[in-house]
Amino acid sequence: MKFYSVRQKNSLVKLQEAVMNGIAPDGGLYMPSQIPRLPDNFFKKAGSMSFQDIAFEISKNFFVPDLPQNVLKKIVEESFNFDLPLIELDKQLYVFELFHGPTCAFKDFAARFMARLLSFFAEKSRQEITILVATSGDTGSAVASGFLNVDNIKVIILYPSGKVSPLQEKQLTGMSGNVIAIEVQGSFDDCQKLAKQTFLDEELRKKMTLTSANSINIARLLPQSFYYVYLCARLKLKNIPLVVSVPSGNFGNLTAGVIAKRMGAPISKFIASTNTNSVVPEYLETGNFKPRTSISTISNAMDVGNPSNFSRMLELYDDDVEKMRADICGAIFSDSQTRDAIANVFNRYQYIMDPHGAVAYLGLIEFIKTFQEYTGVFLETAHPAKFFEEVEKVIKTPVPMPDRLKNYLEREKQAVFLNNDFDELKNFLLRQF
């Protein structure tokens, strides 16, 4: 499979180049040159397949022969070695828990896969690779954990000072070894912008092999499509339309869902559920895309004012808002609606949602009120204990803390503090190499 930049559709690159570059030299995001359709009988047998088996079947289409089949199999097995429960909360209402990986957020799926893929290419090309990642909270820790102590790889995390939860900060800054955390005096968008400037800087590119682990990297995007296929296989819906509500920020998760649909996953509708950082739902409403500065909310991993995967969404829908509307509905919720949803769902089902999942739940409920024939699934992208301060205030009950999160709390913060200034970052990076 070859990959192209959305800005230059006729020049194709190989997997290794797309993954190592992260973003194309022209500043565009990579897309696969085709989205192979799963065979018609796939879903018949998939009902009895494990997630790892399904992931391997799909990923072969994209990654073999660039990766030898046995290497891919090992990568899939090591990356996806945790649970993936689908829980029925009510009739035709499900929550798909994507947070059972080591850092308790759905980003573990993609980060673990990408780490192993890159480590293979680093070894093959005998280069040290530097991973630069801007994070609004969860990406950084998933990436750091995925890459921790992987040979030939250095990880640099940029996170916005004071804008991540205390636990998230511990997860970001408590790593040592090959991971450096940089606390930036600015917003997540500033961090993302600094990362983009770094990737496009000639001098830095000459000194080091830099790549991105944000969802702009195709190796992070594609693995997220696997669980949508698995979801459809588990549900085995016949002639009942399925709607999936996706709590969205940079829109990697939702873009991966659309890719799964193009592969043949029977998903009728997606809901792009956002907090007040709602530029995509607004685009669906008005046809105008107006990025803006992000606003802080309690679902902070979705505080994105200029979602990087939007260009991929446009590409998938030929720049046509009508086509996008046929598949995707937008929904926008405030923090107070999110808190009410957490309380209501806890009282009604004794189920504890985190603020991100709660936004998705709200989007789903709003849709199903009007379209009752649908079976609805919302994605729960983080363990509620990651946001226990907020959640406990609302449900007035302690949130059980998984051991793997407790361990982070005991670590010490190690971070480099920098202003929101590209030259400062550049000088810092130059001193590292």
Ligand X SMILES: *Cc1c(COP(=O)(O)O)cnc(C)c1O
Largest pairwise CA distance in the chain: 60
- Rounded Cα–Cα distance for residues 163 and 187 (Å): 7
Q: Say whether residue 160 binds ligand X (CB under 6 A).
A: no
Among 168, 253, 297, 306, binds ligand X (CB under 6 A): 253
Q: Say whether residue 312 binds ligand X (CB under 6 A).
A: no
Task: Compute the 3-state secondary structure of the chain and give helix, strand, coil in percent, each to the nearest 5.
Answer: 50, 20, 35
The nearest distance, CB 248 to ligand X, in angstroms, is: 4
Pair type for strands 129-134 and 153-160: parallel
The nearest distance, CB 417 to ligand X, in angstroms, is: 23
What element of type H or E holds 419? strand 416-419
Given a contact cutoff of 8 angstroms between Cβ atoms, the answer to whether 141 and 172 are in contact is yes
- Sequence-distant (6+) residues with CB within 8 A of 72 are 56, 59, 60, 63, 64
**In 177-297, which ranges are E strands?**
179-185, 209-212, 242-247, 269-274
- DSSP codes joined into one string, 213-226: -STTSHHHHTHHHH
- Rounded Cα–Cα distance for residues 112 and 222 (Å): 12
The nearest distance, CB 356 to ligand X, in angstroms, is: 4
For residues 341 to 370, the per-residue mask of contacts with ligand X, x marking binding by CB under 6 A and - elsewhere, is ---------------x--------------
Which residues between 190 and 249 bind ligand X (CB under 6 A)?
215, 247-249
Among 21, 217, 245, 250, binds ligand X (CB under 6 A): 250
Among 173, 211, 306, 381, binds ligand X (CB under 6 A): 381
The nearest distance, CB 235 to ligand X, in angstroms, is: 22
Nearer to ligand X, 232 or 301 (CB): 301
Given a contact cutoff of 8 angstroms between Cβ atoms, the answer to whether 98 and 381 are in contact is yes
Among 57, 66, 108, 138, binds ligand X (CB under 6 A): 138
Q: Please give the DSSP secondary-structure letter assigned to residue 98.
A: -
Which residues between 272 and 311 bind ligand X (CB under 6 A)?
301-302
Which residues between 105 and 134 bind ligand X (CB under 6 A)?
105, 107
The nearest distance, CB 381 to ligand X, in angstroms, is: 3
Q: Say whether residue 339 binds ligand X (CB under 6 A).
A: no
Q: Say whether residue 168 binds ligand X (CB under 6 A).
A: no
The nearest distance, CB 297 to ligand X, in angstroms, is: 11
Q: Say whether residue 382 binds ligand X (CB under 6 A).
A: yes
What element of type H or E holds 99? none
Q: Say whether residue 28 binds ligand X (CB under 6 A).
A: no
Q: Which residues bind ligand X (CB under 6 A)?
A: 105, 107, 138, 215, 247-253, 301-302, 356, 381-382
